[in-house]
Amino acid sequence: MSLYHIPSLGMIWVGLESYQNATITNGASGIAGTHIVYIQSGHNVDIQVASKDTICVHNGLSVTAAGNVTLIW
């Protein structure tokens, strides 16, 4: 996943969804809740836009999920 942040405007991204039915994902948004990429094989945990300047990991499962997200810059 490549994620590019444009301050005060939002995020631009392109990459590959997680295992099982993996597809290319891409987009641009500054709107909270916008899906960026699934990081769990069941496609229940994803990275989303949180605001024009932040992202968040969203857990759509009814149980706690654990994992790692590594940012490289």
The model's pLDDT over 49-68, given as tens digits with 9 standing for 90+, comes to 999 999 999 999 999 998 88
Tell me, what's the pLDDT at 5? 97
The mean pLDDT of 22-44, rounded to a whole number, is: 96
> Token pair for residue 69?
């997200």
Domain extents in the chain: 2-59
Where does 1-73 have alpha helices with state H?
A: none
Tell me, what's the pLDDT at 16? 96
The mean pLDDT of 33-49, rounded to a whole number, is: 95
The model's pLDDT over 2-28, given as tens digits with 9 standing for 90+, comes to 999 999 999 999 999 998 889 999 999
Q: Which residue has the tokens 């295992």?
A: 19
The mean pLDDT of 24-53, rounded to a whole number, is: 96
